[in-house]
Amino acid sequence: MSTPEIIIIGGGVSGLSCASELATAGRRVQVWTAAPPHQTTSAVAAAFWYPYRVDPIERVGPWAAASYERFATIAGNLALGPTAGVYMREALEVFVERVPDPPWSRYVDMFRHAVPEELPAGYEHGLVFESPVIDMPRYLPWLVAGLERLGVEIVPQARPLDSLAPALERAQVVVNTTGLGARELVGDSRLYAVRGQTLRRERGELSRVIIDEHGPHGISYVIPRGDDVVLGGVADERDEDLELRPEQSAAIFERCARLEPGLVDNKPLGASVGLRPCRDEVRLEQEERDGQLIVHDYGHGGAGVTLSWGCAEEVRDRVQSWLQARRGG
């Protein structure tokens, strides 16, 4: 291994995005990860742009806006978007009664109120906007390939680290993007898991995202990706069981078919379980320890992909400012 300036701990979407930003800025970067990117929580994320279960809104808004612009740029490149697995889709969020426009509405394109003919039965209000959809089985390998071109090394670890010390021994700057792992790595008791379960079916002709976050039947979403459509979901707080629950799968499909009846004829492809790394607020802050810099970037809840580029840009700026202040770098 080469001698890095910066070690990023965590190989999910947050860590890879931070690595990309820092390497693009000319820094020597390594990513240390106990699980390869395709086996992280990010790999099973439903992954469409939507600030879900994440605070504080005054910081989340700008991060989400920056990520929206980055994903829209990727999707808008006709040669790049399908390769990266990033698509701009019309999204419809539905409500049983009228609600105020959300704070994030000013960050999205094509925002408007739905007309009655667009709403599924039983809903009185809807919001329509354009949302990036990210096909994680395509997007994560695309990120990794980009890091390889930038000279970033991804270094497998035999097991999760229980201390930052090994990384601090090798680099002046360490970025902690370990998600739930930060409970043990840095003793953050404010982190907790929110279990999610999703289904996949063939996409067919479906092209519209539909979301019902607050309805009486439980959270529901239909997310058409490239070749498949992701159906969800559940939000079981402080539940870390990774076993599939058939009764939840049946309930998810029933709810989603109520939103989008066209799902009924689409072939089932599988199901997944993941744990969202939730916290009362995202931790993106820095600390100095014996003349070294640690930047923490975790606790993104159900919005890890939604905030990924925005948070990575702030991590890059914090690291660049610190290095330049210390050695004119």
List all residues 6 or more positions away from 99 whose beta carbon is below 8 Å from its beta carbon.
125
> 178 among the known binding-site residues?
yes
- In angstroms, the CA 246 to CA 242 distance is 12
- In angstroms, the CA 145 to CA 94 distance is 37
* Gyration radius of the chain over CA positions: 20
> 85 among the known binding-site residues?
no
The DSSP H or E segment spanning 298 is strand 292-298
> 14 among the known binding-site residues?
no
> 42 among the known binding-site residues?
yes
Neighbours of 281 (CB within 10 A): 14
> 301 among the known binding-site residues?
yes
Mark 106-129 as b/e (b = at least 16 C-beta within 10 Å): ebbeebeebeeeebeeebeebbbb
Nearest partner of 75 among 7, 144, 135, judged by Cα: 135
Nearest partner of 113 among 222, 102, 206, judged by Cα: 102
- In angstroms, the CA 88 to CA 75 distance is 6
> 12 among the known binding-site residues?
no
The amino acid occupying position 39 is Q
CA 208 to centroid of chain Cα atoms = 20
- In angstroms, the CA 219 to CA 94 distance is 11
List all residues 6 or more positions away from 290 whose beta carbon is below 8 Å from its beta carbon.
none
> 40 among the known binding-site residues?
no
- At 241, is the secondary structure helix, strand, or coil? coil
CA 10 to centroid of chain Cα atoms = 14
> 76 among the known binding-site residues?
no
> 221 among the known binding-site residues?
yes
Joined together, the tokens standing for residue 4 give: 């890095």
Binding residues for FAD: 41-42, 178, 301-306
Binding residues: 41-42, 178, 221, 276, 301-306
Binding residues for D-dopa: 221, 276, 302
